[in-house]
Structures are given as C-alpha cells and as structure tokens.
C-alpha cells in the first residue's frame, strides 16, 4: 500500500510504502521489503528513487521521495510508440541510472515501463526494487516463478533458464523497452506467458526496422546487441550502450543471418515428422535383424 504524506521535519512530500500484513508474516517477502529499503538508501542518483531511514518507527514501513511525472507504461499506453529521438533520450537516461546502480553491485532484475517514472523533460526515476539483487547477498527462495524472474515480457533468457542474472540482464530488459518504445510492441509477445519466455531462449525477434522504417540500421544494431540471447554477446555495461546511442554514426552494422520464422521453427520440431521417420526406419531395422539371423 502506498500513501502520499508530508514530512513534518521539512515539509517535503514523501511516499509511504506499507507492507501488507501477509508480507510481514512471510520472512522471505519481509526480507525483500527490507532489501528494497536498503538499496534505496545506498544509491544516490537523480535517476533512482531515494528511501529515507528512520530508527523511531512504531511499525514496518518505508519512506520514499515523492516522484512527479508519469509511468513510462502510461505514456506507451497513450502514444503506442514514441518518436525515435525521444525513445533514445529516455533510454540514455535509464542507462545513466543503471550504470550507477551496477557500479554499486546492484541489479534491478525487474526493469519494465511500469517501474520507470518519466517527467516533462524526459528525466527518469527507476522505482520498485522489490526483487533487486545485491551481488554479495544470499539467494532468496521465492514462492513462484514470476516473483523470482520478474515480468515475462522483459526477463532475460538466462533468468528464464534459472540463472540469477547480472547487470547484462538489466541491459536485456532495457533493450526490450527500447524495442517497445520504437515499435509499439515487445519483441516476444504471446498470450501464454510460458510461450513468451520460451521464445526468447529459442529464436530472434522480428527486426524492428520491419515494424518502423524510421529506425536506422545503426539503431537496430544497438537493439540487437542489447537483446543477444547469450549475455557475453551483449553490452557489458549500460555506459557502453549509452555511448553507442550517442555516437550511432560509429556503430558498425553486422551481417546477421535471416530470421527463422516461428512457424518454420515449429515445423522442424514437429513430433509428427519425427514419428514418420521412426516408422520409416522399422522395415530397415527388421531387414537387418533377419539378415543377421540368416548368417548365423
């Protein structure tokens, strides 16, 4: 539960986040709540929401700075897709905030439009560190896959496979957001969440230039690099991605294999064709056995 309040010490507007009683009774969820507060106190960046400490509380709650602006999700719901220059500007600002976070050893792990506030000048605030991870923190046990992974549309392939993820996982999520800002859709959209998760592990997304001709080959290359299935092939840091967004004229466009359609991929793996192959081999197998027995 989130409330708007006034800090009586200085008159500033703040947000008070109160955990649900069920969360307080669950040690894992309560630790997540406390970790979110701790991370907000450690990070000091204009693009990251701050949390304030107070040792005199009578119950568990969190005090955060009040953030003006709109959620990026609200903007996308209204505009569907953004002008190229604006999408790049917002992405660069997110990169700047992520770079500070990652240098402190913290991975957001649930980066999505619902967790980015955007003001009138397109400055951003990253919010909601509920499943963020500190590199030196022990692994928490989660009650369901969604809580452990984040949101299916934005989660990285390595997290789908059960990995904890690192800063390159956040870069994958940011690449997904940039793709959506420019095309009006996420790279792997499916009504079935499990199908959407599986798709990013097995195939490449539709080239964004096929959905928006205003995207340059260099910008498409940047998106592809952020969305590489293998983390080692992605940008190693958010600052690297920000630099290429700033200097697109220096980005080399790689020759990439033609995208295999999901329909073709399904036909290759269709169990029906595998069954036909097995049936065709049975006569040959029987003939071989009979030939062997005749020699004996």
Helix or strand run (H / E) with residue 6: strand 2-6
> Shortest CA distance to 292 belongs to which of 278, 277, 284, 281?
284
Helix 167-183 × helix 217-226 angle, to 10°: 140
Closest CA to 36 of 136, 132, 142: 132
110 counts as catalytic:
yes
Task: Report whether 225 contacts 231 (CB < 8 A).
Answer: no
Phi, psi of 5 (to 5 degrees): -145, 175
Write b or e for each residue in 174-185: b if 16 or more Cβ atoms lie within 10 A of its Cβ, otherwise e. Answer: bbbbbbbbbbeb
> Two tokens at 120?
């009138």
The catalytic residue among 99, 110, 153, 204 is 110
CA dist 193 and 190 (Å) reads: 7
Distances (CA, A) of 119 to 116, 128, 132: 10, 17, 23
Q: Which residues have a catalytic role annotated?
A: 110
């Amino acid at each position: 539960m989130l409330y708007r309040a006034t800090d009586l010490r200085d008159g500033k507007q703040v947000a008070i986040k109160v955990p649900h009683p069920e969360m307080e009774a669950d040690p894992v969820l309560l630790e997540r709540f406390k970790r979110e507060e701790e991370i907000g106190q450690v990070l000091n960046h204009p693009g990251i929401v701050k949390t304030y400490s107070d040792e005199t509380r009578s119950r568990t709650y969190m005090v955060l700075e009040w953030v003006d602006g709109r959620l990026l999700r609200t903007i996308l719901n209204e505009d569907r897709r953004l002008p190229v220059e604006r999408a790049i500007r917002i992405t660069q600002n997110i990169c700047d905030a992520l770079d500070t976070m990652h240098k402190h050893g913290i991975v957001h792990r649930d980066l999505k439009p619902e967790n980015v506030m955007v003001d009138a000048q397109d400055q951003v605030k990253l919010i909601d560190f509920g499943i963020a991870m500190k590199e030196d923190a022990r692994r928490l046990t989660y009650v369901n896959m969604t809580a452990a992974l984040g949101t299916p549309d934005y989660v990285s392939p390595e997290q789908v496979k059960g990995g904890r993820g690192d800063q390159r996982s956040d870069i994958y999520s940011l690449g997904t957001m940039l793709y959506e800002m420019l095309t009006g859709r996420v790279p792997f959209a499916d009504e079935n969440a499990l199908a959407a998760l599986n798709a990013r592990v097995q195939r490449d997304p539709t080239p964004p230039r096929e959905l928006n001709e205003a995207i340059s080959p260099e910008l498409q290359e940047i998106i592809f690099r952020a969305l590489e299935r293998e983390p080692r092939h992605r940008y190693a840091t958010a600052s690297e991605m920000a630099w290429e967004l700033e200097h697109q004229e220096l980005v080399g466009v790689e020759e990439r294999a033609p995208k295999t359609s999901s329909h073709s991929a399904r036909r290759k793996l269709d169990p029906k064709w595998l069954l036909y192959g097995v049936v065709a081999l049975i006569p040959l197998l029987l003939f071989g056995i009979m030939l062997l027995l005749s020699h004996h």
